[in-house]
Amino acid sequence: MAYATVEELEERWRDLSETEKGKAAVLLEDAAAILDAELERCGLKPEGRTDKLRYVSCQMVRRAMASGTDAGDYASVSRTAGSFNEQVTYANPSGDMYLTANERRLLGVSLKRGRAAFVDICG
């Protein structure tokens, strides 16, 4: 079950077309599955985290839907007037759904780097 509705996503981001609403509903379910897996990995329950999970779900879906579009989710933009050169690098070109470091901290599901590999630090 999704932690956020399409309407809550729109309130936090922008109005969506009917086609986008259908995609958003599916992605909100996907985000919930990812979040549930992260919580389970750390032995945590969603209870008491509803507002945080709603916020993070909306952020994950916003990033995924804004990827590779003209929505402005760019890592860098370069323009040159002479010889008409323009370069755009999207922040999330493949539309992956992921948690940022701040979102992980908010939920208590951090990943910290060890010397040779990633070490799970939950809670």
In this prediction, residue 93 carries a pLDDT of 60
Count up the domains in the chain and report the number: 1
In this prediction, residue 120 carries a pLDDT of 58
In this prediction, residue 110 carries a pLDDT of 78
As a whole number of angstroms, the distance between CA 101 and CA 9 comes to 21
In this prediction, residue 74 carries a pLDDT of 57
Angle between helices 18-41 and 50-66 (to 10 degrees): 130
Residue 71, in any domain of the structure = yes
Q: What is the pTM of this model?
A: 0.75
In this prediction, residue 116 carries a pLDDT of 53
Weakly modelled stretches of the chain, pLDDT under 70: 68-79, 88-94, 112-123
What does the CA dihedral 103, 106, 111, 112 come to, rounded to 10 degrees? 110
Q: Is 85 left (phi over 0), alpha (psi -120 to 50) or beta?
A: beta
In this prediction, residue 83 carries a pLDDT of 76
Domain residue limits at 62: 6-120
Q: What is the DSSP string of 22-70?
A: HHHHHHHHHHHHHHHHHHHHTT--STT-HHHHHHHHHHHHHHHHHTTST
Residue 33, in any domain of the structure = yes
Model pLDDT for residues 30-45, shown as the tens digit of each residue: 999 999 999 999 999 9
Residue 46, in any domain of the structure = yes
As a whole number of angstroms, the distance between CA 81 and CA 44 comes to 53
Contact yes or no for 3/28 (Cβ under 8 A): yes
Residue 1, in any domain of the structure = no
Residue 51, in any domain of the structure = yes
Residue 63, in any domain of the structure = yes
- Beta-carbon contacts of 121 under 8 Å, excluding residues fewer than 6 positions away, are 110, 111, 112
